[in-house]
Each structure stands twice: as structure tokens, then as C-alpha cells.
Structure 1
Amino acid sequence: MGVFDFFKNKKDKPESNQPDLQLQAEIDRFENEIFATTARYISQPGVQVNIRARHSETNEVIPFAVGFPEQFNEWRTVQSLADRRGIIYRLLDSQVGNQLALWQVMERFNDDRYPERALQIATEHKQEADEQDPDFWNALARTNFILTHYEEAERNCQKALELDSTSIRSKRILADTLHVMGKHDKAHELYQEILAKKLPKNQPANLPLQDLLGFDGDIVNSPIYAIGWLKSDENVTPEVWNWAVEEFYYSPHFRTEHAFYLIQNKDVMKGFAKLLHVSKEMPWFKDAVVNSYHIIEQLGLSDKMQDERTRLKGIMDIQNWN
């Protein structure tokens, strides 16, 4: 990936006053988070991206916090990593969004929890050339998977594999799709094939979990595989679950399982709050909606949470989830 120079219309040079240590730490963290997030934004795991903000008049390199003060001030108030990524994504949209391929735009919205927007963009902007690009079909498969359109996601994966039968990305999304469709044996065969190809023979046995499951590791960056892995290990700590839910925050599947994990570990109200949040943000996800509704009833909160109960019941009635 080439060097991006981001310009802002800022007439004055940044002040030379030494900022306090806390502010400087936030400025540095903002810088580092932009570097870390850009690879996700362009859907290129592990790529080394060298981007700099530059002064519009002198062309000197300046901190992103100086070049983009509005985004920085918003970013520093947000705790959630996924929400901070969204701020950085919007910053990048304004600077380099028009340089992305269609499939990258779709993946940007998938990762930012807007799969419906990704689907709309695919429908409105698909060209003949995109139909010959396996990356387009992979992005569309992930969109449909997140939206729980599993049969369509499977067809998208098959089209991608027809164009590139070796695509690990296609097989990873297909494995997730098959697994949630109940075709576990076929899914596990694909996961094992991916591991065999991605892990070198001399790979250390103590490979960090973040490398195995994380985006940057680019091995099995799969919410469904991650769910199975974490649930199978009784020694997995809450900190690992917290890391993973930030990694897969775009996935209603993973976020719902994380909520169940909290509930099962007697952190009922925290788990319920997270489940309810998924039902609001991703109302197409049945497990979040139905379980939120039943928890309201089980906890005797029907009167206190009448509006939420009515909202959830309305979704269930429309979808015939009763």
C-alpha cells in the first residue's frame, strides 16, 4: 500500500507549547490506532501502511490529532475499540474512500456493523468486472452471513471458489456458513484445511490466540471458529473473551455468545445488557431478540421494560419467531 498524505485546511502551524503528558499519550495512541486500523479498512491483513498527516501550507508532517482535531476529540471520549474504529473509518472515508475497490467498501461497512449498507452498495454499484472478482463474492458472502442469509452466503462462496479454487478467504466464510447451517463435518474439514495451509510446519506450538484468531494474524479470523475455540477451553479468561468480542464486534453471532458466556458465569445483568444491545443494533439476529425477550420475562422486568418488551415482541411477530 502506498503512502497517503492527508491534508487539512489549517492556516496556522500547530502550537509549539509542550502538551501535558496525558494529552501527548492520547495523541500517540490516536496515531498508533490509525496505523493499526488502516489495514482493516482496506481489508489487507498484516499490511504495513505508512500514512501521515501533513500541514496544508508547509507540507510538514503533523500528528493526526492536529490535522483532524474534531475526530481526535470525539475518539478520545470513546471507550469501545469498535466505536473508535468507526471514527477512524469515517476519517479514512473522507481522505481515501474513493480509492477503494467495491469489495473493500463493502468490507469496510461489514466491519463497521453496517452490513445492510454493504448490501445496498453491492446492489447499486456492482459492475460486470466485479462479477469476475472473487473478492467481491467473498465480501458479499460475509455481508449475507452477518445478515443470516446463509443460503445466499453459501452461493456467494461457491461463486468465489469457481473463480479462485484456492482462496482461503472463501473457504473460511464458507466454513462459518456451513457450520451455522448444521453441516458441521464439512465446516470442520474446511477449518482443518485452512490451518494446514496457514500454519507453517515449524510454527511454534504456543501460537498466541490473538495470532490464530485475529485479523492481523490472518489464519482463522472467524467468529464461528473463535466461538468454538473459546467455549471448548474452560480455562479461557474473561480478558480473552473481551479481546475476542472487540475483534469480532461486527458479528452478531459472537456478540450474542459473549453475552451468553457472561450470563452463564453469573454476570446476568451485564450479559443481558449486551444481548439487548445486539437486538437493537442487529434486530435481524434471532437469538439476540428472542433471548432478550425471554430474559425480560424471567427477571420479572416486563413492567419496568415495557417499551423494550413491546419492541422485541414486535420483531418476533413480524419474523414469526414466536
Structure 2
Amino acid sequence: MGLFDFLFKKKKKNQTNEVIFTNDFQEETTAAALTEELPVAPIIPEEKPVISSEEGDRFDREILEAFKRFHSDPGLDIDIHMEDEKGNRLSPHHAYENLFKEWLNIQSKWDRMSLLYQFWDSSQFEKLEPWQVIERFVKDRYPKKALLYFEKNMSDRRNFTKEELVSLSKLHRVLLDNTTAREYIETAYRNHPDDDSVKVEYATVLHIVGNHSEKELSHQLFHEVSDKKIQQNHTESAFDCFRFSEGYMDSSIFAMLYLMNAEADNEAWDSIADEYYYCPVFRYEHAVQLSQTENPLRALAKLTSLSQEFPWFRTALESTIGTIKSLRKQLNNPDFMEKELQEFQTSLKNS
């Protein structure tokens, strides 16, 4: 059994977090009644697009998933309880029609998740622990906001919980400040050497910045956690071990290494990419994979969005600029993506 052929135990929590919402159906009904009394010309109702039950079900699943991700707790057992003015229970896509419509127009999984994160901000943000706030911003691709939150609310503290140290290490990895990331996670490992989440993050950082012997320690630590998982319940695929679920191994770097070592196809890369869209290094290597498998336009699309969202990532900027120039020659179009090229060249100068 190989390094990544480990298993996960699916646990059920007894506690249920029931989230109850009230809707403005009565206000909407009253407003409609008043409008009907006015002497206005008849309005032909706009034909609504047909929405499949599959789309509605997917929205209902993703809004619950967003709640769990927002709290950084894949084991949360929640029930979103919504009712109309008559007390009839409503599914989320019926209760939040405008949100659902906006969600329908978003193709990217993480752009949809970002929309749902913003939805949960209004009722859940103040309930988050500091480490959860850091994770919320980092996973939503706003590490600069996470850093500002830290500077405002946490920088004067001398001691941090293990969850805070792990989240701060992830934050600085995304900012490509691996030296600071190592400082935080080494503190966590000294104080909590047996914690699995600490081990995984420490292994991740050591693999990035460690010398040869430290990389060996990195793989040893990762083995220790994965071996523990082997003795637990069955999982259908090794890829599942890196997906958001109870006991998952939250390491974009080891997920990336597994895909490379397994010579995974584009479909496998795409499936894991949804999990680590927040990690610039993973996204860069995904673009490289697409380029190597003769998908230059998809690779360029990945590089373009990566360079726009992480303008401090010089390697991505240089690759994006080089790819645009190369495609200009291939397409015999000297003006291809001129606006974007200027944008990335400016970002490179400022990085």
C-alpha cells in the first residue's frame, strides 16, 4: 500500500447546528398588493427561465457545504430551516431566489463558494474564532484581508492556539512568505507534536523550504498521519483524502505531489483543483500540467486568473507574460491580449 493509499473514518456528530432564517415574504406580498391598486398599464410578466431540479439540488448542497467550509469544520451537522409566511418549509433555492439566480450564472466552483461565503458573513462572521476568520479569508483567496485581520486583532498577542498557528502558517504560505510560515508551524509542532493537523502543515512547510534531512522528516511525518488513516474506514480513491471531509489532509503541496507522482490525467487534476484553488503554487503547477498535455489556452486561462488574484507571485506573472507572447507568434496576432499583457507587466515591476 503506497504513501497516499490511506483511509478515512466517517464520523457523525451528535450535535446539530440548526440555522433558522426568516424571509420577507409578507413584505413582498404587501408591496405587490399596493402596486396592483395603482392605475398603471398592465405588465406582461417576464418569462422565467426553466430551472432544473438538479440545479436547485446542487445549490442546496453547496450552500450547506459553504457553511461547513466557512466554519472550517467538515463534520458540522447542520439543518437550514426556512419557512414562508404560512409556515411551509422551503428549500434554500426557493427561499433565496435572487441569490440562487446569481449563483446560477457563476461557472467556477470557488467563485460560487465565494458568493455563498459572502452570504454567510451576514449571520455567521461574528461567531467565528480568530483562526476560522484567517481560514475564511485564505480559502476565499483574500490572504491580504486575512493579514489585515491578524494585524488588527491578533498581532499584540504572545501566545496562539495550535489552530491559530496552523492557519497563520497557511496564510503566509499563500503569501509565499515561507520563512514566516515556518516560524509559526515550528512553534505549533514544538507544543503539539502529536496533533495530525499540525503534523500535516509542518510536513508541508518542510517539504517547501527544508534541506534534504528535513524533507525526509517531512515525508516521515506525513507517513505517520497517513498510516493512522490506513487503519480507519475505506475510501474509494486516494484523491478523496485531500478533499474537504472529516479527517482530510489539508495539504495543497502533498496533493500536488501525489498528482505528479501518479502521472494523473487532467480530470484528476481538475477534481483536486476545486479543493486547492486558494493555493497559488498548486494552481501554477496545474497550469503547467495543462500546458504539457497540449491545452495551451486552458493553461493561459489558469495563468491569467492566477496572476490577477496573486499579483505578488512573480513566477506566475513571468509565465503568463511569456505564454501571451508565445501565443501571439503562433496566432500571428501582435495585439493578442494587449490590455492583460500591460497589466501583468506592471504587476511584475511592482512585485
User: Fold match, TM over 0.5?
Assistant: yes
Q: Map 1:297-308 to 2 at 5 A.
A: 297-299=325-327, 300=329, 303-308=335-340
What amino acid sits opposite 2:231 in the alignment?
A: K
Residue of structure 2 in register with 1:262 after alignment: 290
1:124 aligns with 2:156: no
Residue of structure 1 in register with 2:75 after alignment: 46
Residue of structure 1 in register with 2:347 after alignment: 315
**Larger relative CO (CA 8 A, sep 6+): 1 or 2?**
2
1:11 aligns with 2:11: no
What TM-score, normalized to structure 2?
Answer: 0.80
Q: Distance in 2 between matches of 1:275 and 1:134?
A: 34
Residue of structure 1 in register with 2:7 after alignment: none
Shift of 1:224: 0.6
Task: Give unmatched runs, 5+ long, in structure 1.
Answer: none
What amino acid sits opposite 2:199 in the alignment?
A: K
- Secondary structure at the residue paired with 1:3? strand
Q: Map 1:127-276 to 2 at 5 A.
A: 131-183=159-211, 184-197=215-228, 199-201=229-231, 203-204=233-234, 207-234=236-263, 236-276=264-304
Residue of structure 2 in register with 1:104 after alignment: 132
1:93 aligns with 2:121: yes
| Change in 2 beyond 3 A, CA 1:30/1:203 | closer
Shift of 1:281: 0.9
Counting matched residue pairs gives: 311
Matching residue within 64, 72, 93 for 1:35: 64
- Secondary structure at the residue paired with 1:11? helix
CA contact (8 A) 2:17 2:77 kept: no
Q: Distance in 2 between matches of 1:283 and 1:177?
A: 22
| Change in 2 beyond 3 A, CA 1:63/1:225 | same
What amino acid sits opposite 2:250 in the alignment?
A: N
What amino acid sits opposite 1:7 in the alignment?
A: T
- Secondary structure at the residue paired with 1:247? coil
Q: Distance in 1 between matches of 2:187 and 2:61?
A: 37
Matching residue within 273, 278, 281 for 2:306: 278
Select the structure of larger CA radius of gyration: 2
Mean Cα deviation higher: 21-30 or 260-269: 21-30
Shift of 1:68: 2.0
Q: Distance in 1 between matches of 2:126 and 2:216?
A: 41
Shift of 1:189: 2.0
1:197-238 Cα deviation digits (max 9, x unpaired): 3x142654x74134211111533231111111111123x232
What TM-score, normalized to structure 1?
Answer: 0.87
CA contact (8 A) 1:5 1:53 kept: yes
Q: Distance in 2 between matches of 1:280 and 1:13?
A: 40
1:62-82 Cα deviation digits (max 9, x unpaired): 221233222111011112111
Matching residue within 14, 17, 31 for 1:2: 17
CA contact (8 A) 1:194 1:219 kept: no
| Change in 2 beyond 3 A, CA 1:169/1:313 | same
Q: Distance in 1 between matches of 2:26 and 2:306?
A: 43
| Change in 2 beyond 3 A, CA 1:286/1:175 | farther
| Change in 2 beyond 3 A, CA 1:302/1:185 | farther
Q: Distance in 2 between matches of 1:170 and 1:20?
A: 48
1:153-207 Cα deviation digits (max 9, x unpaired): 111112323443322222222222222225432321221122123x142654x74
Q: Distance in 2 between matches of 1:54 and 1:125?
A: 37
Q: Distance in 2 between matches of 1:50 and 1:130?
A: 38
CA contact (8 A) 2:324 2:336 kept: no
Shift of 1:60: 4.6
Q: Distance in 2 between matches of 1:196 and 1:273?
A: 38
Mean Cα deviation higher: 81-90 or 153-162: 153-162
CA contact (8 A) 1:148 1:285 kept: yes
